[in-house]
Structure formats: C-alpha cells, structure tokens
Amino acid sequence: MSIIEKAASRIDKQRQAAAPVTPAAGAPADVSVEPVLDTAVALAPASGAQAAVDAAAFAPAAAPAAEAPAQPRSTPRKVELDLGRMRDLGMVTAAGGRTNLLEEFRIIKRPLLKRAFGERSAGANPANLIMVTSSLPGEGKTYCAINLAMSIAMELDHTVLLVDADVARPSVLRTLGLPAHRGLMDILLDDKLDLSDVMLRTNVDTLSILPAGTSTSRATELLASSSMSSMVLELANRYPDRVIIFDSPPLLLTSESRVLASHMGQIVVVVEAQTTTQHAVKEALQQLDGMNNVNLIYNKTRDIPGIEETYDYHYG
C-alpha cells in the first residue's frame, strides 16, 4: 500500500471514530465539523519519515538573521618621527631652534601658501596640491619636500599631507628612518582600500604621510587614471586648511612625473647648484610647458664672497 493510500485509510478511521457533533441552535441540520485533512494528504511527501516531515512543516519560521553591524573605517596608523635624528641630518624641526635652514624654508613656503589658499581660476587645479620634482636624481627633491612639509606643519592655521609619489624609487620613509608601508599605489590598485587604511599619522600633529606603496609596472597608467583624479580632488577638498606635498620622480627620467604634474596646482623644481646643467633645466621645464605656477628652488649653493649669510635654498 502506498503512503498516500495509508494516509487516506488513517483519515477514514479518524472520521469513523469521531463523535457526532450536535449542530448549534438554528444551524442547518446537514452542517457538520470534520477535520480538514484532505489537502494535507494531497501534499504528503512520497518518501522519508512522515513524523519528521510533519514536524518540519508545522515548526515556527526561523527568525531572520540579525544584520551584521557595519565595519567601522580604520583609523590611520601612527608612526614616530625621530626629530632629533632629523635635526642632526640638517632637516627642519620645530625643536631645532632658529636656524638659517628654518628661515630659508619660511621664505620658500610663503608664496606657495598664498597661492594655495588664494582665489582659484575657473577650471584650474586646486593650488594646495604642490608637486616637488627635479630634472635628474640626486638634486635634493625629497630633502626639499620633507623640509617644506615640516615648515608648513609649523603653521598655526594649516595641516600637511606629504605624499611619496616617486613610486619607482620611493625615499620619503627611508629618509625619515621609517619602514615601508602600503600607500598610494595600493589605493589605486584596490578600490576596497580607503585613504585611512594607508595614511600614516605622525607625532607632529599637523603632519601626515601617504607612502608610495607597492611597486607596479602600471604606475604611469594608474597615475593618469580617473581614480587618481578623484583621489587628488578628495585630498585637496576634504580639509580646507590642508596642503598636500607630492615628492615626484625626476622629470627627465620617467613619464610618471609629467602625468602627476597634470593634477597639480603648483610645481616646484629643485635645481642643484653648480651641478645641474642649464640644458637639463630647460629640458625639464619644457616637460611642464603650458602649466602655471612653476617655481624653482636653487639647492646646495656655496657661500658667496662678500655676503655674511647666504641661503642654501632660493625661490624664484
């Protein structure tokens, strides 16, 4: 006998055993109450343990799973700059006292800051995006980028983000005595990363660092991408008091620097005194043809006879 036939036989026995129901007063005599089981018989499973199926069929519905709480954004990691070591290496620090170097970078930063927060022309790149570059390696661009960032960090009304954008040969963290970290390239390669995941806070409260990150052969294309454009605009506009300093690759060695320059509001070209040729400087400036706010820092000058104090860095 099939399971359906067994179920039907059981129902007939239940009907026969059931006591007759007396109709309510005024109700038609042919109305009776019977267990409604015919539909259940029609839907009975063809196999399996009947008791288990019945229990599952009438079990209360499981409560919906609680929604997982949103994951909070990670806070930037903090690193400690060895300010004593930086001072010994001849870098600008607030604790270093009033030195010629400090005064030089005070002179250099003032026109940059004036433009950074001045009125912006229609369609112009944000002027608080400042790229520091050079014609060739070894002219001191990273040294100048760090000192410029440290000098601006001493301002009462501004904060600084120092970006190591020399992605082929990153040197900001190494110069500061810090280990490598994820950074700029990682954000452009992985859209799940946020700036807060890779940005480094420092013990100088007004200074943060964005490392270069993972080396990649697609660096030029990534720097030219819409993701990079969106990121630099976010950096420029997220905080109204922020200046972003980009340490860029040399102009005459890589294509990355020219692509990076297209995002910038101001460009500073470091020129090594008595070493960089006039031809190299002209060729480098040609790479920036058509770009506004290109400035020069004349680096590593020697003392000039007849002048008591000379600045090693000149702005022009």
The CATH number for 235's domain is: 3.40.50.300
Can you tell me whether residue 24 is helix, strand or coil? coil
Regarding whether 224 and 96 lie in a shared domain, the answer is yes
Q: Is residue 237 part of a domain?
A: yes
Residue 45 has pLDDT above 80, yes or no: no
Q: Are residues 36 and 128 in the same domain?
A: no
Task: Please indicate whether residue 171 or residue 119 has the higher confidence score (pLDDT).
Answer: 171
d(CA 130, CA 126): 9
Asked if 263 and 218 sit in the same domain, the reply is yes
CA–chain centroid gap for 14, Å, is 72
Residue 166 pLDDT exceeds 50: yes
Measured at the alpha carbon of residue 172, what is the angle toward residues 174 and 233, in degrees to the nearest 5? 150
* Number of domains the chain contains: 2
68 assigned to some structural domain: no
Is the pLDDT reported for residue 41 higher than 50? no
Q: Is residue 178 part of a domain?
A: yes
Same domain, 245 and 192: yes
Tens-digit pLDDT profile for residues 6-25 = 545 554 555 555 545 444 44
Q: Are residues 181 and 246 in the same domain?
A: yes
- Give the tens place of pLDDT for each residue, 76-107: 799 999 999 999 998 999 877 788 899 999 99
37 and 92 fall within a common domain? no
| Residue in this structure with the two tokens 């030195």, named with its chain if needed | 99
How far apart (Å, rounded) are the C-alpha atoms in residues 144 and 152?
12
Tell me the three state secondary structure of residue 66.
coil
DSSP conformational letter for 277 = -
Query: Would you say residue 20 lies in a domain?
Result: yes
Alpha-carbon gap, residue 256 to 253, rounded angstroms: 9
* Token pair for 153: 């960090």
Q: Residue 124 falls within a domain, yes or no?
A: yes
DSSP helix/strand/coil, 57: helix
Residue 189: exposed, middle, or buried by beta-carbon count in 10 A (0-12, 13-18, 19+)?
Answer: middle
Going by C-alpha positions, the residue among 247, 164, 261, 176 that lies closest to residue 213 is 164
Which residues form the domain of 87? Answer: 77-315
Residues 114 and 180 in one domain: yes
256 and 133 part of one domain:
yes
